[in-house]
Structure 1
């Protein structure tokens, strides 16, 4: 059976709200739009998840996260799973008939509740084709951030795939819908990548999207291991975007910690609330939440709603931050070093990784030079141990990196937040 089955696939005809404009209107200045990472293969349950997200006691936007077969374009495997009644780890938007997805969205998505599709693909053309047909105008990813951490797709292929996909997605504007893309570059590997490189890749991916026709953007940053350093990083991200992005239609999205998550319920919520505080303190407009179940299994709809409401209830006021921090200086150097390589952002990114100007620590992808290393200092700040060929000062040689030390760093956040308040971690 071909993808989509035999049911009529006709595209949607409504004109969805600009996702970016919605978030900028509702978030920032002490307010926060919160969002789950929810994906369910059954359309009835996926609709129920969106309805529950919308009804949560918070300002929310919806999420449809796609399954791993769709992510790698193995549509035949997704089709077999659907035929056999196997539950996937996300929503197979290409295989489900478009009319099924339209019915899922009908009466749920509107100007007060936009929906974003999240996927994780280095080969996204089939996904963007479905989004255009369905007039689903918000997605995310990037040519670097959805390639290097996730597999062995050559970076050159991912850049070409994302160029085509972004240009296809931009045709939504011909149908009266404003396409929105969010960079995933601020989340590379989830942990142990110093914030300056996260900021740099997020900015560069946003510029790549804009160069290929998308004007509504969001730039990501994932909560790391030290609150003060995270504040510096988000401030650097905002400053670089204000200086470099050729569109005013952009906002910042913070992700709750993407690494080894606390196992206890109390620890998980303490970490989530700290992420919400980070977003509010730095004036970020949107937060991607995590739940109490992250360390154990895929969360339920109810657990997602609880996380949305816990995050949405956090209160903090934006505060001025240090403009010329070490994080900003490093990110600025990385961004401009890449921009100086080529006017075409895709070619510039390829050259940057080929020459080690961008180099992700602990990333085993063949197109990553792999000469950089990072570690946590005694305050939990991420530091460069080795900077390879990047245009940054040489890393600190004061700590010998060992496998035991790496495992200790990887578990730092879990250990810190699962420890009762007042006790030594």
Structure 2
């Protein structure tokens, strides 16, 4: 949730805080600020032009402090979400306003979203993490969330998402941060997602033993269902996934996701719908009941390959992409090898069809199934079709003839 008008931004935060759910406040920044075009952001604010988010840097710390007064408190932390490969001025603005929670990462906010050289992004994020860690000296425990488990949103097999989430978490720890969250995005098969989150938790417990961490799940980040009922079913499945896997937090999407930026009311409704679904989801799955199809082994192989390169994890990440040990499918950034490909099977499970030089077991690669353009387009709309069909079936079989009616954080 990000609005350019401070009064509207405050209203959105207050509505989120008062929702019938346990919530975290979100301030999402505008595109000019995210990409470092601060001159255009300033001009837009001065001219009263519409922006697609909150211009944190341009408005200045006094305005944002007034937005947060009486809203942000220990029971309702507020996190800034931005998408910047080089976020130093954003982190400076965070410190000036008293905020201490944000998200991103040196890889996950560089490769999909920018043309910034990866080495430049790593250097910027190294400085920003250290700046954020210094907030501890002011009596504040800063928090940073990896975006590594959400790379490209879809068609990236989960072993790589788990590996990137852990590697960015380890990078944060290396810079002095001690409170982090590890991300994973809901994909097209709930059983595969359960296995991936279980793997993420086990690996993080081993490699981040001295850090306070939790898992945050993102509701599906690809092509969203067209129908409000289909979108609601997808969100409810994301909430249940959180409960079954022991995730602590959910980034919520709304029924308007396929068409436009949601309203405050739509965001609150989504939060409350997700909370209701979570309340009825039962208990966390016993770990022994989660099948093992090799996601954890794949993630560990990728992590080990990176850690073996350099003692400095930032430099190791740069080298890993240069050597092709890490390679994000369908990512066009110049520092990404672009030799890997993912594909969906008929059940929505993600598999590798090509891995380039990544140390992925040969048994995990279906080299005879490299998707063509038609299969790729079908895969991109798989979730939309599946959930819209489910919604239509629910409506058809409802005794009243009524189906479900149709990001912020839970």
| Same fold at TM > 0.5 | yes
Q: C-alpha displacement at 1:110, in angstroms?
A: 0.8
Asked whether the equivalents of residues 343 and 370 of structure 2 are also in contact (C-alpha less than 8 Å), the reply is: no
Distance in 2, Cα, partners of 1:85 & 1:302: 24
Query: Residue 407 of structure 2 corresponds to which residue in structure 1?
Result: none
Question: In the alignment, which residue of structure 1 is the partner of 2:270?
Answer: 307
Aligned pairs for 1:68-217 within 5 A: 68-217=31-180
Equivalent residue number for residue 386 of structure 1? 354
Name 1:328's counterpart in structure 2: 296
Q: How many residues align?
A: 387
Which digits, 9 at most, give the CA deviation of each residue in 1:358-416, with x for residues without a partner? 00111111100111111011211000001110111232023242101100000000010
Task: Please give the secondary structure, in 2, of the residue aligned with 1:182.
Answer: strand
Tell me what 1:344 maps to.
312
Identify, as 1 or 2, the structure richer in helix. 2
CA distance in 2, matches of 1:100, 1:183: 28
TM-score under structure 2 length normalisation: 0.92
Is contact 1:236-1:323 (8 Å) kept? no
Identify which of 353, 359, 374 aligns with 2:327: 359
Q: How far, CA to CA, are the matches of 1:128 and 1:102 in structure 2? A: 15
Unpaired runs of at least 5, structure 2: 395-410
> What's the offset of the Cα at 1:422?
7.5
Q: Determine the C-alpha separation between the residues in 2 that align with 1:373 and 1:393.
A: 15
Counterpart position of 2:196: 233
Q: Distance in 2 between matches of 1:290 and 1:120?
A: 17
Give, in angstroms, the shift of residue 323 of structure 1.
7.2
| Runs of 4+ residues over 6 Å off in structure 1 | none
Over 3 Å counting, the alpha-carbon distance change for 1:102 and 1:354 in structure 2 is same
User: CA separation in 2, counterparts of 1:161 and 1:86?
Assistant: 30
Long gaps (5+) in structure 1: 1-37
8 Å contact 2:180–2:211 — kept in the other structure?
Answer: no
Q: 2:375 aligns with which of 405, 412, 420?
A: 405
Alpha-carbon distance, 1:125 to partner: 0.4
248 and 153 in structure 1: CA distance in 2 versus 1, 3 angstrom threshold: closer
Contact in 1 for aligned 2:230/2:391 (Cα 8 Å): no
Is 1:415 matched up with 2:380? no
Mapped contact 1:94–1:127 kept (Cα < 8 A): yes
Give distance in 1, aligned partners of 2:390 and 2:221: 21
State how far apart, in whole Å, the 1-side matches of 2:171 and 2:203 are. 15
Cα pair 2:60 2:93 within 8 Å, conserved: no
Conserved in 2, the CA contact under 8 Å of 1:387 and 1:393?
A: no
Residue by residue, what CA displacement relative to the aligned partner does 1:17-47 show, whole Å, maximum 9, x if unpaired?
xxxxxxxxxxxxxxxxxxxxx0111000000
* Cα shift readout 1:178-220 (whole Å, capped 9, x = no counterpart): 1100000010011000000000000000000010011100000
How big is the shift at 1:423?
5.3
User: How big is the alpha-carbon RMSD for the aligned residues of Structure 1 and Structure 2?
Assistant: 1.3
Partner of 2:399: none
2:341–2:370 CA contact under 8 A, matched in 1:
no
Look up the match of 2:401: none
How far did 1:248 drift? 3.9
Matched residue SS, 2:58: coil
User: 1: distance between equivalents of 2:92 and 2:393?
Assistant: 53
Q: Distance in 2 between matches of 1:422 and 1:182?
A: 36
Output the CA distance in 1 between the equivalents of 2:78 and 2:117.
Answer: 30
Report the Cα distance in structure 2 between the residues aligned to 1:112 and 1:87, rounded to whole angstroms.
32
Tell me what 2:285 maps to. 319
TM-score by length of structure 1 reads 0.89
For 2:159 and 2:168, how far apart are their aligned partners in 1?
A: 14
